[in-house]
């Protein structure tokens, strides 16, 4: 299984990000796509409770229509789902895949907790964007985020500038917490020259890694095909006091929740 070389680690520490190519194979990506298909069917339902739609529990099915919509018409405006591992086994299989601790060991070890488990959607015609921001985690629950937290994004579809791929600002992590309100217009630009941002074009199975301080964002998908991605944020277990376990000494730890989501799972 692939891991990061010293050169990769040095580049990650210097630039604030790294793209690991071809980590997950075609069968694993196909499996993830079955999970995404189930989520799209779920988003088309009209009986989703407010807890799920508002994110009051672990799972949050986030729809962002320009006007109130439900049912199949709302699927176009599906923005993200938090903790899909609690809904479909495909996401849990990849979340606990041994490729993650192998890849991340040089950065944060093999005993890992998770603060985020999320899938993002850029559906055709949705006009969904993710403005410039940092993925700062709550403090003091995390110790030295710049060294101990790694955000990972698996490309499930080809990601390019036409379909709104991720853009990152190299070196922006060195500025630390900019204390900007999330997605607030213009606040990041007061501190960072976003003209230096790079497009993180990726093929299905590639994994983009970056720090919680790295400035990033993306524009809408202008193609007629969806762009989907799977996000898992890992933290060195002894550097945080919150989060769900993912790996203990490299061995997977199944996801748990105090909430009952059986009605959202495949039958």
- 239 Cβ contact list (under 8 Å, min separation 6): 108, 142, 143, 144, 147, 148, 149
Residue 80 lies in a domain: no
Query: How confident is the model over 138-161, as a mean pLDDT?
Result: 92
**Rounded to an integer, what distance in angstroms lies between the CA atom of residue 140 and that of residue 137?**
9
- In which residue are the tokens 């499996």 written? 31
Q: How confident is the model at residue 187 (pLDDT cuts 50, 70, 90)?
A: confident
Residue 126 has a pLDDT of 93
**Average of pLDDT values for 130-135?**
93
Strand ranges inside 21-72, DSSP E: 60-63
Q: Does 72 fall in a domain? A: no
Name 149's bridge partners: 235
* DSSP H/E element including 94: helix 89-95
For the chain, how far is it from start to end, CA to CA, in angstroms?
Answer: 33
pLDDT of residue 108: 97
Position 228 in a domain: yes
- State the pLDDT at residue 68: 84
Examine residue 48 and state whether it is found in any structural domain, yes or no.
no
Is 11 among the domain residues?
Answer: yes
- In angstroms, the CA 58 to CA 154 distance is 21
SS3 141: coil
**Once rounded to an integer, what is the mean pLDDT over residues 201-225?**
97
Q: Which domain holds residue 199?
A: 6-25+91-253
Which CATH number characterizes residue 211's domain?
Answer: 2.60.120.620
Q: Kindly tell me if the per-residue pLDDT of 183 is higher than 80.
A: no
Residue 252 contacts residue 246 (beta carbons within 8 Å): yes
For residue 186, the model assigns a pLDDT of 74
Please report whether residue 69 resides in a domain.
no
Mean pLDDT, rounded, for 123-147: 89
Provide the whole-model pTM.
Answer: 0.96
Q: Mean pLDDT, to the nearest integer, of 66-76?
A: 89
Tally of domains in the chain: 1
Give residue 72's pLDDT: 92
1 pLDDT tier (thresholds 50, 70, 90): confident
Check pLDDT > 80 for residue 181. Answer: no
Q: Is residue 260 part of a domain?
A: no
pLDDT, the chain, mean: 95
Band of the pLDDT at 179, cuts 50, 70, 90? confident
pLDDT digits 0-9 by tens, 44-62: 999 999 999 999 999 999 9
Q: Is residue 42 part of a domain?
A: no
């Amino acid at each position: 299984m692939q891991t990061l070389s010293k050169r990769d680690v040095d580049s990650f520490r210097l630039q604030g990000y790294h793209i690991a190519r071809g980590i997950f194979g075609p069968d694993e990506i196909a499996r993830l796509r079955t999970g995404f298909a189930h989520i799209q069917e779920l988003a088309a339902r009209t009986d989703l409770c407010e807890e799920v739609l508002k994110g009051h529990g672990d799972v949050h099915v986030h729809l962002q229509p320009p006007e109130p919509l439900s049912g199949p018409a709302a699927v176009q405006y599906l923005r993200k789902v938090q903790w899909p591992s609690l809904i479909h086994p495909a996401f849990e299989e990849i979340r606990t895949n041994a490729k993650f601790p192998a890849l991340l060991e040089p950065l944060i070890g093999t005993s890992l907790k998770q603060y985020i488990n999320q899938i993002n959607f850029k559906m055709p015609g949705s006009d969904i964007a993710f403005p410039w921001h940092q993925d700062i985690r709550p403090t003091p629950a995390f110790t030295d985020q710049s060294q101990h937290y790694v955000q990972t994004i698996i490309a499930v579809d080809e990601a390019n500038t036409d379909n709104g791929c991720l853009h990152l600002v190299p070196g922006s992590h060195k500025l630390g917490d900019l204390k900007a309100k999330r997605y607030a217009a213009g606040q990041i630009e007061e501190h960072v020259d976003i003209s230096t941002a790079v497009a993180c074009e990726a093929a299905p199975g590639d994994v983009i890694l970056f720090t919680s301080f790295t400035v990033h964002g993306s524009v809408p998908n202008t193609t007629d095909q969806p762009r989907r991605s799977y996000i898992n944020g890992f933290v060195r277990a002894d550097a945080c006091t919150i989060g769900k376990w993912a790996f203990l000494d490299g061995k997977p730890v199944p996801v748990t929740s105090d909430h009952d989501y059986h009605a959202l799972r495949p039958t």
